A and B are shown apart, each in its own frame.
Chain A
Amino acid sequence: MSKTVELINLFALLSLLAVGGGTAVLPQMKYDTVYLHHMISAAQFTEIYSLGQLAPGPNMMCVILIGYHVSGWLGALAVLFAFFLPNTLLCYFVSQIWDVAAGSPWRDAVQRGMAPIVIGLMLAGCYALGKTASYNPSRDWEFNALTLAIGVAVVVVLSLTRMNPALTILAGGVAGYFLLP
């Protein structure tokens, strides 16, 4: 039970800190669940996040798998509520009174000011995942060269074509299955 409470506290805070979308909390989520609370391993975190990218719907739905891993169905449900309820409640009430701020020049200032912070957090998220998924010192150079190449190939393909990102992730899985040593 105390583990479930820990989950609720952790994900409810992340819920309210999810500025500019769910991926902004990725670095903190990995640090907290892996290194601070030892709920899952770094490899599991990365794999769970990656699996989540194959599913439709809201980004970061993968969080419920962390909850399930820690304390079963109760944990999954607890994380679902903790991660999605605080920010949606906030949104429900603030959006009702939003018109008060309509036309305020400060809205633009908030958006332009927060943008680089969100990008910094997303880059930190790339780094947190990449440390495990793209360049992992515990693997040999051949393996790392291939995982790095897969990541770069995905960036190039998505920049040049309109391919669905979920398909590039599936393609990465196929490439891993056949190519990785």
Chain B
Amino acid sequence: MSEAALSERVTLGQIFWVFARIGATSFGGGVVAYLQHSLVEKEKWLTADEFMGDLEIAQTLPGLNSTNMSVIVGRKLRGPLGAVAALLGMILPGAAIVMALGFAYVRFRHNPNIALALAGVAAAAVGVLLHVTLKIGWKNLIRLKDLIFVALVFVLVGIFHISLLVTIVSLAPLAIWMNRPVTADRGRHE
């Protein structure tokens, strides 16, 4: 579907509400799956291929996949204002709910029973993060070339608290070079 045809159909209000619905219902992380369902299957604003193309950009650039996707898709639908509408829709519901949870937390955190429940919540949150890490990273953990970088980054940032900026700037070029395209290398020698 052409972008021009779409922009005639989709209003800023529609963009905001579709993203706000995702922002308000995507419990438990994995916002990308909710986005795919809404944008591709339900609203049909994007084809599956377009979605995957946009997701690739969103994942490669810094930032959260959910907010990057909002900006990219919103812009395609209605330009800069579309991007703002999508981004606000994605962010506002979660921000409101987080603030509400925060106020409840301030109110109840000194109650000893609630403190125990919070300790349980925190212990479970570590499990959730570890699970996601293992799910997307197991391939890197069993590949020696990758495992060296995983371990190096873990030790530098996790143990020695070397700044993220220094770590990324020094290791990323090396890691990318080690995965350099075969053709580029060949081109150099020819």
Residue ID in chain A nearest B175 by CB atoms: A113
B residues contacting A by CB (< 8 A) are 22-31, 54, 56-68, 70-72, 75, 80, 83, 87, 90-91, 93-95, 97-99, 101-102, 105, 109, 113-114, 116-137, 140-141, 146-154, 157-158, 161, 163-165, 167-168, 171-172, 175-184
* Interface 1/0 per residue, A46-75 and B, CB below 8 Å: 111111111111111110110010000000
CB-based contact B67/A177 at 8 Å: no
What does DSSP make chain B's interface, helix, strand, loop or mixed? helix
| Residue contacts A-B, CB under 8 angstroms, 28 given | A19-B168, A28-B157, A47-B105, A49-B122, A50-B122, A51-B121, A54-B101, A54-B121, A56-B24, A56-B93, A57-B95, A58-B66, A58-B94, A59-B31, A64-B102, A76-B99, A87-B62, A87-B68, A122-B133, A130-B126, A147-B119, A159-B134, A164-B28, A166-B28, A171-B124, A172-B120, A173-B121, A179-B120
- Residue from the list A106, A116, A127, A164 in contact with B147, Cβ < 8 A: A116
- Residue from the list B75, B93, B133 in contact with A126, Cβ < 8 A: B133
What are the residues of chain A within 8 A of B177 when measuring CB–CB? 109, 113
- Residue from the list B56, B91, B119, B132 in contact with A58, Cβ < 8 A: B91
- How far apart sit A129 and B161, CA to CA, in the bound complex (Å)? 14
- Residue from the list A21, A26, A57, A108 in contact with B93, Cβ < 8 A: A57
CB-based contact B127/A177 at 8 Å: no
- Residue from the list A14, A57, A153, A165 in contact with B94, Cβ < 8 A: A57
What are the residues of chain A within 8 A of B163 when measuring CB–CB? 28
- Residue from the list A21, A58, A171 in contact with B90, Cβ < 8 A: A58
What are the residues of chain B within 8 A of A51 when measuring CB–CB? 98, 101-102, 105, 118, 121
CB-based contact A127/B158 at 8 Å: yes
- How far apart sit A112 and B177, CA to CA, in the bound complex (Å)? 10
CB-based contact A120/B93 at 8 Å: no
Q: Which among A88, A92, A115 has the highest number of chain B CB atoms within 10 Å? A: A88
CB-based contact B134/A134 at 8 Å: no
Q: How far is the CB of A13 from chain B (nearest CB, A)?
A: 7
- How far apart sit A171 and B120, CA to CA, in the bound complex (Å)? 8
- How far apart sit A112 and B12, CA to CA, in the bound complex (Å)? 37
Q: How far is the CB of B92 from chain A (nearest CB, A)?
A: 8
CB-based contact A116/B140 at 8 Å: yes
- Residue from the list A127, A167, A170, A177 in contact with B113, Cβ < 8 A: A177
Q: Which among B119, B147, B152 has the highest number of chain A CB atoms within 10 Å? A: B119
- How far apart sit A166 and B134, CA to CA, in the bound complex (Å)? 18
Q: How far is the CB of A78 from chain B (nearest CB, A)?
A: 13
- How far apart sit A154 and B29, CA to CA, in the bound complex (Å)? 15
- How far apart sit A173 and B58, CA to CA, in the bound complex (Å)? 33
CB-based contact B184/A106 at 8 Å: yes
Q: How far is the CB of A88 from chain B (nearest CB, A)?
A: 5
Q: How far is the CB of B98 from chain A (nearest CB, A)?
A: 5
**CB-CB contacts below 8 Å: A113-154 with B:** 113-130, 132-134, 143, 146-148, 150-154
CB-based contact A110/B121 at 8 Å: no
CB-based contact B29/A53 at 8 Å: yes
